[in-house]
Copies of this chain bind each other. A is one copy, B any other.
């Protein structure tokens, strides 16, 4: 068709340029994809599509897919931990702390299917990726520390486990526990 030495025909290129903070948006897009398709279905192309950027942008901003996942999960853990911290910091006494925990489980954690799925995906990924295991470790330590503002160390640890169980159990069930049932379980443990 065209002569071998002819300059390339002007292939239409994307007009998009100068997108500061694109890296951040990519990490958020990765979290969306993980929540929707799982880690297994999270690919460079899928993330790029979700963020509406070309594939080449992925390899420019991240050295590997592993790096994207690590950054994404770190952000997720940080975000959940912050809410945890805030709720418990706001509580003035033990009774308020108990209420804060109930709100945390019933509203914050169970309220968002997105976050819920991300957490379980992180658990699995952490089982095989040391970097992600460190993320979960730091997260768990921070949660426990937040609980220790109001409860002794043993209680904090046990309560943390109970929270984990209530959340996971409800998440998997077609018939999740109501707020009242969660309140009952937590009061029973802390009675």
**A interface vs B, CB < 8 Å?**
37-40, 117, 120-121, 123-124, 126-128, 133, 136-137, 140, 154, 157-158, 160-166, 168-170, 172-174, 177, 181, 184-185, 188-189
Let me know if B172 and A136 touch, CB within 8 A: yes
Distance in angstroms between the alpha carbons of A134 and B177 in the assembled complex: 18
Distance in angstroms between the alpha carbons of A163 and B124 in the assembled complex: 18
Let me know if B38 and A140 touch, CB within 8 A: no
Given the known inter-chain contacts A121-B124, A128-B38, please indicate yes or no for A158 contacting B172, CB distance below 8 A.
Answer: no
Apart from A39-B40, A137-B174, A157-B177: 15 A-B pairs, beta carbons within 8 A: A38-B124, A120-B120, A120-B124, A123-B172, A126-B172, A133-B172, A136-B172, A137-B172, A137-B173, A161-B165, A161-B185, A164-B169, A165-B165, A165-B166, A189-B189
Let me know if B38 and A123 touch, CB within 8 A: no
Residues of B within 8 A of A123 (CB): 120, 124, 168, 172
Distance in angstroms between the alpha carbons of A161 and B184 in the assembled complex: 13
Let me know if B174 and A169 touch, CB within 8 A: no
Closest to A172 in B: B136
Distance in angstroms between the alpha carbons of A169 and B143 in the assembled complex: 12
Distance of A159 from chain B, by nearest CB (Å): 9
Let me know if A166 and B161 touch, CB within 8 A: yes
Distance in angstroms between the alpha carbons of A27 and B87 in the assembled complex: 46
Let me know if A160 and B169 touch, CB within 8 A: yes
